[in-house]
Amino acid sequence: MKAHLRSVVRSGKFMVGFIIFASILLFSFIYPFFNPGNPLAMIGYNSFTKPGTYISLYDSMETRRTYIFRLPEAELARVASKLDDRDRGLIREWLILFNKQENAGIRESEIDIENTTSLLSLWWEYYTEDIRVEGLTIAGRRELSRLDQRLDGLFYTDDRHVMSYNQETGEHDILFAVITVDDYVHIDDVANSIHLPLGTDGFGRDMLKQLVSAIGTSLWIGLIAGCVATSIGLVLGLVAGYVGGIVDDIIMFITNLFTVIPGFVLLILIANSMTQFERGPVTVAIVIGLTSWVWTTRSVRSQVMSLRNRDHVNLSKLSGHSMPRIIAKDVLPYLASYVVMAFILQISSGILSEAGLSMLGLGPSTTTTATLGLMMDWSIMKSTAHITGAWWAYYPVIIVIALISFSLNLMNTGLDQVFNPQLRD
């Protein structure tokens, strides 16, 4: 036993899998302590806000202490931030069309939309409202003229006066603050800011918090499904293999029946036949477990059949032991390594099945807990995340699902190598 444990620890594959799995598990345990609260609270009013830190504008103005910095690159950065990607694209498009028409001699490599200075200097050099460039609609032309007007304001650096609104008189009369271009506040002095490492989902909920709680729920679903599937598979396999005869025939008939019906179709039918209110995470886990025991039964049965004719089992019979005792003490220990491996695989396939079901809208029907599958479902709901480019709403979930099942499979392969000497490197 000790030697086995030692070789398990020494197995590279097992340890890599174990470390990945343990870190995911540990993270999902520890993170809620640092960031407590309801993971499904809708904190944002916008859908799919991008990852990053958000600082309250109101509180930044209210901050008592301001600092003055004169940074040489500040002006350029300010201009660059006012010019968004769409504006830059429009400028480039116009310059290309203009160049074709007038043969102005601008090389296309010169038009670099990343370089704000060169782009703007080109624009101001050539653009006048009067030039009619072929291939532009009237609307397009108007947009360009509006853009040109807006560009004039890019370098506006006058002080901003913040007035407070007097409700009684209905006037903006009290000068609240004067803000100059060189004023800075420290981020810690701002009363309210929120850090969203993975942004928010379509309902304005913190993605990371949700993901962490979903990992926990999904692992529970996998564990319950794995327990149900492994115990059914084990019991049926043991009974069929050891008792044999008519009992074996009946059990194998049922098993074969389940083998030919595709498990996932059965899962969909069962999940669909339940009402929305009955379909909690635990119910879904049990349904998954009830449809995925078949292969465990088959392999346990075949192993028990070869074990039951071994001499040590015969000797145990001759010592007058009862059937349950022989199964528990003389057959089961020989299967233990296989059962552990099957269990690990069942957990992994349970998590994947839940994700598959949920993406079809047949997963747990709940608004109080998140699962990995439900998060995928929510991200494609109204088909938005992948169209608006909100990668943070589904990529982290996909990566976590892949990592969990990869680590569990790696652990399984590692254990296989430990218990089966033929597979050792």
Partner 1 sequence: MTNNKRELCLSGTGVTKIFGFGNRKTVAVDHVDFNFYSGELISIVGESGSGKTTLIKMLLGLTSVTEGEIFFMGKKRDISSHEKKKEYWRGIQAIFQDPFSSYNIFSKIDSVLLDCIHMRGGRRLPKAKKIEMMREACSFVNLKFDEMTNKYPFELSGGQMQRLMIARVFLLKPKILLADEPTSMIDACSRATILDMLLKLRDEIGMTIIFITHDMGLAYYVSDTVYIMEKGKFVEFGTADEIILAPKAEYTKQLLDDIPKIHDPWEFSRNKKSTA
**268: Cβ–Cβ under 8 A, 6 or more apart, which residues?**
357, 360, 362
Q: Which stretch binds partner 1 (CB under 8 A): 98-106, 138-146, 273-281, 327-335?
A: 327-335
Cβ partners under 8 Å of residue 53, min gap 6: 187, 193, 194, 195, 196
Nearer to partner 1, 261 or 323 (CB): 323
Hey, which residues between 196 and 215 contact partner 1 (CB under 8 A)? none
List 311, 367, 382, 421, residue binding partner 1 (CB under 8 A) = 311
Which region, judged by CB under 8 A, interacts with partner 1, from 210-218, 231-239, 305-313, 361-369?
305-313
Q: Say which residue the tokens 């000797």 belong to.
A: 315
Contact flag: residue 306 with partner 1 (CB under 8 A): no
161 binds partner 1 (CB under 8 A): no
Minimal distance in Å, beta carbon 5 to partner 1? 15
Site for partner 1 contains 10 (CB under 8 A): no
As measured in angstroms, the least distance from the Cβ of 308 to partner 1 is: 10
Q: Is 5 in the site for partner 1 (CB under 8 A)?
A: no
- From candidates 7, 47, 56, 316, binder to partner 1 by CB under 8 A: 316
Residue 401's nearest CA partner among 368, 374, 422 is 374
6 counts as binding partner 1 under rule CB under 8 A: no
Residue type, 141: R
Residue in 4, 310, 386, 424 binding partner 1, rule: CB under 8 A: 310
Among 164, 322, 388, 420, binds partner 1 (CB under 8 A): 322
Nearer to partner 1, 322 or 368 (CB): 322
Contact segment (CB under 8 A) with partner 1 among 290-298, 321-329, 374-382, 414-422 equals 321-329
Q: How far is the CB of 335 from partner 1 (least distance, A)?
A: 11
Task: Tell the smallest beta-carbon distance from residue 415 to partner 1 (Å).
Answer: 18
Shortest spacing between CB 421 and partner 1, in angstroms: 15
Q: How far is the CB of 328 from partner 1 (least distance, A)?
A: 11
**Which residue among 92, 154, 317, 409 contacts partner 1 (CB under 8 A)?**
317
Please report, as residue ranges, which positions from 332 to 361 form the binding site for partner 1 (by CB under 8 A): 333-334
Q: Which residues pair with 55 in a beta bridge?
A: 193
C-beta closer to partner 1: residue 146 or 310: 310
Characterize 136-158 residue by residue with b for buried, 16 or more Cβ atoms within 10 angstroms of its Cβ, and e for exposed: beeeeeebbeebbeebeeeeeee
Position 315 contacts partner 1 (CB under 8 A): yes
Task: Give the residue with the Cβ less far from partner 1, 142 or 329.
Answer: 329
Q: How far is the CB of 300 from partner 1 (least distance, A)?
A: 17
Stretch that binds partner 1, among 8-16, 151-159, 179-187, 306-314 (CB under 8 A): 306-314
CB of 285 to partner 1, least distance (A): 32
CA angle 125, 136, 112 (to 5 degrees): 45
Residue 389, Cα to own-chain centre: how many angstroms? 15
Could you say which of 100, 160, 172, 329 contacts partner 1 (CB under 8 A)?
Answer: 329
Under the binding rule (CB under 8 A), the answer on residue 312 touching partner 1 is yes
Q: Tell me which residues touch partner 1 (CB under 8 A).
A: 310-312, 314-323, 329-330, 333-334
